[in-house]
Amino acid sequence: MKFLILPLLLLSSTAFAAEPLTKVEKGEVELLLAEAASKLLYLERDCGKPMDVEKFKELAKIKAFSEGYMTIEGISWERVKKKAHQGYGMLKIEAPLGELCDDYRAQIKGNYRFLKEI
Tell whether 53 is covered by a domain: yes
Tell whether 118 is covered by a domain: no
Tell whether 6 is covered by a domain: no
Number of structural domains in the chain: 1
Kindly indicate the confidence band of residue 18, based on its pLDDT and cuts at 50, 70 and 90: low
Nearest CA to 95 out of 47, 50, 34, 33 is that of 47
Tell whether 89 is covered by a domain: yes
Tell whether 39 is covered by a domain: yes
pLDDT at res. 111: 64
State residue 51 phi and psi, 5-degree precision: -120, 130
Mean pLDDT of 50-73: 88
pTM of the model: 0.75
Tell whether 1 is covered by a domain: no
Tell whether 67 is covered by a domain: yes
Strands (E), 1-118: none
Tell whether 81 is covered by a domain: yes
Domain containing 68 equals 21-111
Nearest CA to 77 out of 28, 19, 30 is that of 30
Mean pLDDT of 73-97: 95
Angle among Cα 64, 70, 1 to the nearest 5 degrees reads 125
